[in-house]
Amino acid sequence: MASSAGKLTWLKKHGERVRKGSPVAKVGDRVLYAGSAGILLHNVDEVTGFWRLEEAWAKGDMDLFISKPKEIEDGAMVKPGALIGRISDNIFFYLLVRVKREDFYPKWYDEKRVLLIFPSIGKEKEAKLLRLKSLGNDLLMLLSFTGWDELSGLRYLNVKLVKRRLMGAVIPINAIIIKEGKSGVYLVRGGRVFFKELKFRELGSALALTLDLKEGDRIVVEPDRVSEGSFIRW
């Protein structure tokens, strides 16, 4: 969007979806209108968001630091014909993820795809694995995906990387226990028993029960016969 000279006042937020012909900004006394429908971006960069993680794998949850291209802020003085923003059909993100080697799922590399779950907004997205770099005992993954409107305005967000998806798996009702007010099951990993919380998330018009499992994990179907922290042979 090109402007006349004057002080800029945004009438719509960065990342907000706008209709064609709706007022989006004011420069001086002149009102600018959206030339098309889409997502309003307060910048003209090709890449809308670059997400950087310092610690990528902590209990399956990751805090993302989003470093976006510099936005043209409210109150800025702009020159005649200057580009102050653009309208996009969708928003493209890069995601830089650092993981421990033992947490890396080989199928991610084979398929060049990683399934991401965003618990805070109840959505999931498949990302492309663009690059993989070795950093000592860690691996650095560069992912890309097309996001949603609600992601553009967030500075911090939780996301999970899914190793595998289990559809239709049955958990015996007697395996579910309540511990400190949380529903979950006892898992055995490497011979040690530990508690794993069950979580619910929206999946279309239904609710999905999710349980993060690693290769070799086993669910204890008789939890009253074991205790957390104990060792058992399977």
Residues 46 and 61 sit within 8 Å (Cβ to Cβ): no
Pair (17, 126) in one structural domain = yes
Coil, helix or strand for 17?
strand
Written as six digits, the tokens of 32 are 């600018």
93 and 16 inside one domain = yes
* 3-class secondary structure, 162: strand
Residues 6+ apart with CB under 8 A from 131: 140, 141, 142
Q: Does residue 26 lie within any of the structural domains?
A: yes
Q: Are 51 and 69 in contact (CB under 8 A)?
A: no
pLDDT digits (tens, 9 = 90+) for 41-83: 777 654 433 333 344 434 333 434 344 456 777 888 888 777 7
Could you say which of 142, 162, 182 is where a domain stops? 162
Tens-digit pLDDT profile for residues 143-202: 888 766 566 555 556 677 777 655 555 677 788 888 888 888 898 888 889 998 887 655
Q: Rounded mean pLDDT of the chain?
A: 74
First vs last C-alpha separation in the chain: 65
Q: Residue 230 domain-assigned?
A: no
Model-level pTM?
Answer: 0.45
Separation of alpha carbons 39 and 18, rounded Å: 6
Number of domains in the chain: 2
Other C-beta atoms within 10 Å of 116: how many?
Answer: 19
Q: Which three-class secondary structure state does DSSP give residue 77?
A: strand
Check whether residue 103 and residue 214 sit in a common domain: no
Tokens standing for 5? 């000279």
pLDDT tens-digit series, residues 115-151? 887 766 667 788 889 888 887 888 888 888 876 656 6
Task: Find the domain containing 82 and state its range.
Answer: 6-162
Shared domain for 142 and 48, answered yes or no, is yes
Per the domain annotation, does 1 fall within a domain?
no
The answer to whether position 24 is within a domain reads: yes
131 with 42, same domain? yes
Judge if 152 and 197 occupy the same domain.
no
Residue 233 lies in a domain: no
Residues 131 and 216 in one domain: no
Same domain, 124 and 183: no
Q: What share of the chain is helix, strand, coil (3-state, %, to 5)?
A: 10, 50, 45
Residue at 234 is within a domain: no
192/122 same-domain check: no
For residue 218, the cross-strand partners are 188
231 in any annotated domain: no
Residue 30 has pLDDT above 80, yes or no: yes
